[in-house]
């Protein structure tokens, strides 16, 4: 397996002895466990959010909560807590770990513990299960050289099978794509939509830059990424032409620049797609978007602080 993936962070020994929130208690990592009957463990029946802590604030908290609550509503998963109660859980867990920044949270909400090891949601009698893992996290410097993508046979699903907008515990579609990319010697899989247009990668959203224009997929088959939406927003604010449109591998291979977006890495450059080098490596538009995004994070965090 590769040691550099989209979510590779610099090594940090403090992550060996984290305090983790599990269902109302903040406990040492080696005691942070859920039941083998848990709906999330047994069936992937749960939703999660990845969020980052900047200067004591969970950046874009409202957008993350919108996605989490919408997803849970769609599958009738009662979170049983308000957004402010969720924020308090995250704040208390971060405080227990002495964190105010450079931290990444995986908040997980599952349908809870089941009475029997079978699928029916009514068997999930004791729920939800809520877990928050917050790690010390600085994206690895090695990511700056750019990732290698391979287009993979595994495609994004149609919304009437399992809507790809669900940030569900069940990520098998993406994991199969990632395995296929590994087999092709790449770091991450570039996934197409059911019509053959370039859609997204197995763990991040995907953008290309052509002649000063920024293109990403229509959004119909990918995760409705918070970072994706923010990149579109900062481009619009700065007058950088940005389009959500269909395009194929043909245009991706000959792009001047390409990058991935996600909460962890913000904007991660792509060096290569299917063995074709992308651009000349100078990446001026990606660099500009990175600066604009950093500024948006700082502004948003300041607004969030002021609103507390």
Ligand X SMILES: Cc1ncc(COP(=O)(O)O)c(C=O)c1O
Residues 33-52 that bind ligand X (CB under 6 A): 50
Give 197-200's long-range contacts (Cβ < 8 A, gap of 24+): 197/246, 197/247, 197/248, 198/151, 198/247, 198/248, 198/249, 198/251, 198/252, 199/155, 199/156, 200/156, 200/164
Could you say whether residue 200 binds ligand X (CB under 6 A)?
Answer: yes
- Least distance CB 85 / ligand X (angstroms): 21
Applying CB under 6 A, among 225, 265, 269, 279 the residue interacting with ligand X is: 225
Instruction: Determine which helix (DSSP H) or strand (DSSP E) holds 90, and give its type and residue range.
Output: helix 83-96
Pairing of strands 46-54, 103-110: antiparallel
Beta strand ranges found along the chain (DSSP E):
19-22, 25-28, 46-54, 57-58, 103-110, 113-114, 124-126, 129-136, 147-151, 188-192, 198-201, 205-210, 213-216, 242-244, 257-262, 266-273, 276-277
Q: Which span sits near ligand X by CB under 6 A: 2-10, 209-217, 221-229, 282-290?
A: 221-229
Using the minimum distance from each CB to ligand X, give the nearer residue, 19 or 270: 270
Could you say whether residue 177 binds ligand X (CB under 6 A)?
Answer: no
Pairing of strands 188-192, 147-151: parallel
Residues 98-137 that bind ligand X (CB under 6 A): none
Could you say whether residue 157 binds ligand X (CB under 6 A)?
Answer: no
Could you say whether residue 173 binds ligand X (CB under 6 A)?
Answer: no
- Least distance CB 171 / ligand X (angstroms): 7
Applying CB under 6 A, among 40, 262, 265, 269 the residue interacting with ligand X is: 262
DSSP letter for each residue of 263-307: TTTEEEEEEEETTEEPTTS--HHHHHHHHHHHHHHHHHHHHHHHH
Could you say whether residue 261 binds ligand X (CB under 6 A)?
Answer: yes
Q: Which span sits near ligand X by CB under 6 A: 17-25, 76-84, 261-269, 276-284?
A: 261-269
- Least distance CB 108 / ligand X (angstroms): 12
Could you say whether residue 216 binds ligand X (CB under 6 A)?
Answer: no
CA–CA gap between residue 204 and residue 265 (Å, rounded): 9
Q: Which span sits near ligand X by CB under 6 A: 10-18, 143-151, 226-234, 284-292?
A: 226-234
Q: Which span sits near ligand X by CB under 6 A: 15-23, 180-188, 219-227, 287-295?
A: 219-227
Could you say whether residue 203 binds ligand X (CB under 6 A)?
Answer: yes
- The footprint of ligand X (CB under 6 A) covers 50, 167, 174, 200, 203-205, 223, 225-228, 261-263
């Amino acid at each position: 397996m590769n040691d550099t993936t989209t979510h590779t962070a610099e090594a940090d020994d403090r992550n060996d002895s984290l305090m983790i929130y599990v269902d109302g208690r903040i406990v040492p990592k080696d005691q942070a466990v859920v039941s083998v009957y848990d709906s999330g463990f047994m069936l992937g029946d749960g939703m999660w959010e990845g969020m980052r802590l900047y200067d004591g604030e969970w950046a874009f908290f409202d957008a993350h909560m919108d996605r989490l609550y919408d997803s849970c509503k769609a599958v009738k998963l009662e979170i049983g807590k308000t957004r402010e109660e969720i924020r308090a859980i995250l704040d208390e867990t971060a405080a227990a770990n002495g964190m105010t920044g450079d931290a990444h949270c995986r908040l997980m909400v599952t349908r809870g513990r089941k009475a029997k090891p079978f699928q029916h949601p009514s068997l999930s009698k004791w729920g939800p299960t809520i877990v928050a893992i917050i790690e010390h996290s600085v994206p690895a410097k090695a990511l700056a050289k750019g990732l290698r993508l391979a287009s993979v046979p595994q495609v994004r699903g149609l919304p009437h099978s399992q809507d790809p907008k669900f940030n569900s515990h069940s990520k098998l579609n993406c994991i199969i794509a990632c395995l296929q990319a590994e087999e092709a010697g790449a770091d991450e899989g570039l996934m197409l939509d059911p019509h053959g247009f370039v859609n997204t990668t197995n763990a991040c959203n995907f953008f290309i830059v052509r002649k000063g224009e920024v293109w990403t997929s229509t959004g119909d088959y990918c995760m409705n990424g918070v970072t994706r939406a923010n990149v579109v927003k900062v481009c619009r604010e700065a007058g950088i032409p940005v389009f959500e449109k269909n395009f194929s591998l043909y245009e991706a291979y000959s792009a001047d620049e390409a990058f991935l977006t996600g909460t962890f890495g913000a904007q991660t450059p792509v060096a290569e797609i299917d063995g074709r080098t992308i651009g000349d490596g100078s990446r001026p538009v990606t660099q500009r978007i990175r600066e604009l995004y950093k500024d948006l994070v700082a502004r948003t965090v300041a607004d969030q602080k002021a609103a507390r």
